[in-house]
Structure 1
Amino acid sequence: MRATVRTSDTGLMEPEVGVGPWPGGPEQWPDDPRLDPDLLADGDRRNVADQYRYWRLEAIVADLDVRRHPLHVAIENWGRDFNIGSVVRTANAFNVARVHIIGRRRWNRRGAMVTDRYLHVEHWDDVAAFSDWCAEAGLPLLGVDNVPGSVPIEGRALPAECAMLFGEESQGLTADARQASAAILHISQFGSTRSINAGAAAAIAMHAWVVQHASIPDTRPRV
C-alpha cells in the first residue's frame, strides 16, 4: 500500500486518510474476490483498519462475523437519542455480536460514522420483547446506570456471554429496563457531576468486558 500526503491550509504536508489507487492498471490488481474493483481503481479513503483496505463491504462483514465477541449491546431509544450513533461506533470497534435498539426505529446515524454498515443492528418494540429474547438466548441482561442499588462495574466478573443495556441520556434506564435486568452496574465517578455522557458510559462498560474476555493481539496498536 502506498502512503499518500496532502498539503494542508498551512502549507505543511499531512498524511491522507486511507490509500490511493492500487499501483498499475487492472492487469496488475491482486486476484482476490474480497477486493472491490472500484476501490482498487480510485483508492480507499474509508475509516477501516489497514487489513481491510480495498475490501468489499460484504467481505469485511463476513470476516468480522467469524470472530465477533459474544457481547450484545442494547440501548433504549424513546426520544431519538443522539448518543446511539456513538454507541454503535464503539460497538463496531469492539466487534460485538449485535446492537439492539429498543423503542423508536429512527435514530441519528451521523454519529455512527457509517460503522452501522459493519454491524448487525436489530430493533425491538419494547424492553419486554428484548428481555424475552435474551432469556431464550441464555444471555444475562445487565443494566448500566448509576441508580440506587446499582453496583460498581469495576472489579466485577462479567459473564462471557451477556447483553448490556443502556438508557437514554436524559432519563437513564426506564423502570421496565431496571426490572428486566439481572443486575444493574454503574461506573464509579469521582467528580462533581452526577452522570457521564451515555455514549462514554457505554464505551467504558464495553471496554470493561473486553479487558476480561477478549483475546488481545500483540500486533494491533493500542490507544
Structure 2
Amino acid sequence: MYSIQKFSALAPKTKAKRFAELLRILILQLGNDMAQIRNEYEHYAEWENFPASKRLNGKNQAELIDLYKDFRTEAGLGFERDVYLENEPGDRSEAVMQTLPYAVLAHNLRSGFNIGSVFRTSDCFGLEAVHLSGYTPDIDHAMLKSAARGTERWIPHKRWETPFDCIQAHLANGYSIIALETGEGSVPISTVEWPKKGLIILGNEELGIAPDLLEKCSLKVEIPMAGRKASMNVAGAFAVLSYAIRTGYKF
C-alpha cells in the first residue's frame, strides 16, 4: 500500500504502470459499477492532480478502457489481451468451417468468466448461438468480455425472459434439447449419435440443471470422470461437449 509521499517519489513510467494495474483490477472486479470505480480511482488520481482527461467523471466503460490503454502506453508496455479486447494475432475475418445447427442455453450461470468461455468455445467449434436466461451475466459484464476475447461481438445471442421460452422456440424449429449433466439416464459422451439440430442446456455451477428443465431434455450426456472428482467446471465440460459434437456430427 502506497503513501502519497512514497507514490510521488516513483518514476513517471512506474506511476503509469501502477495506474494501469489499478484500472485493470477495477474493470475486472467491478464491471459496470462506474460509481464505485470512480471512488476507488479518484483517491489516487487526486495525488497526481490529474487533468480532466485522466479523471473518470463523465466517462463510460469504453472510455475507461481507453484510459487504461493510455497508461499502458505511458509505461512503455504493449496492450494486454485481458482488457484490450480487439482482434488477437491469428484471428480470422471469417470462419473456416460450416456453422453447426447447435446452440447453447446458459441458465443461472453465476460466473462471468464461465459464460465468456462459453462464447469463445461456441466460436471455436462453430456453434450457431448463445442464449442467456435467469441471472446469467449480460454481455457487457467485464469478466465475460475478458474471457470471451471479443467473440460476444459476433456470436448471435439472445436473452430470454424464461428458459422455457427458449426451449419451446427451439422445439418448434425441430431442435433436440440436450442436457450436459451427470446422473440417472445420462449416456457417456463417446456413445452419442448427435441429432441434426440441438439446443444444449447448461446449468448452475453448484446446483446443475434444475429438474423442471431436465424434464424438457430428450438427451442427457455425461463426460465420464477418470479421477477423484465427480464433475468438471461447466465451461470446461462445455468445451469437451462442443468438440465431441464437431468431430462426431454427420452432415
Shorter-chain TM-score bucket reads 0.5 to 0.7
Distance 1:133 1:49, change over 3 A: farther
Contact 2:109 2:135 in 1 (8 A): yes
Q: Quick one: which amino acid aligns to residue 47 of structure 1?
A: E
CA distance in 2, matches of 1:155, 1:66: 24
Structure 1 counterpart of 2:237, from 192, 201, 210: 201
1:46 corresponds to 2:87: yes
Distance 1:155 1:111, change over 3 A: same
CA distance in 2, matches of 1:160, 1:95: 14
CA distance in 2, matches of 1:210, 1:48: 24
Distance 1:197 1:51, change over 3 A: closer
CA distance in 1, matches of 2:245, 2:137: 28
Q: Please state how far the C-alpha of 1:214 moved relative to its aligned partner.
A: 7.2
Q: How many residues were matched structurally?
A: 161
Structure 2 counterpart of 1:100, from 131, 137, 140: 131
Look up the SS of the partner of 1:180 in the other structure: coil
Distance 1:92 1:202, change over 3 A: same
Instruction: Pick the structure with more strand per residue.
Output: 1
What stretches of structure 1 of length at least 5 have no aligned partner? 1-44, 53-59, 216-223
Q: Quick one: which amino acid aligns to residue 135 of structure 2?
A: R
Look up the SS of the partner of 2:215 in the other structure: helix
What stretches of structure 2 of length at least 5 have no aligned partner? 1-85
Give the TM-score of the pair, scaled to structure 2.
Answer: 0.58
Contact 2:109 2:205 in 1 (8 A): no
Decide which structure has the larger Cα Rg and report it.
Answer: 2
Aligned to 1:87: 118
1:86-133 C-alpha deviation (Å, 9 max, x unpaired): 111100111211111121363442211221112001111222111111
Contact 1:83 1:198 in 2 (8 A): yes
Aligned to 2:199: 163
Distance 1:195 1:51, change over 3 A: closer
1:186-206 C-alpha deviation (Å, 9 max, x unpaired): 111111011111000000001
Q: Quick one: which amino acid aligns to residue 91 of structure 1?
A: S
Q: Quick one: which amino acid aligns to residue 123 of structure 1?
A: R
Aligned to 2:225: 189
Q: Please state how far the C-alpha of 1:50 moved relative to its aligned partner.
A: 5.3
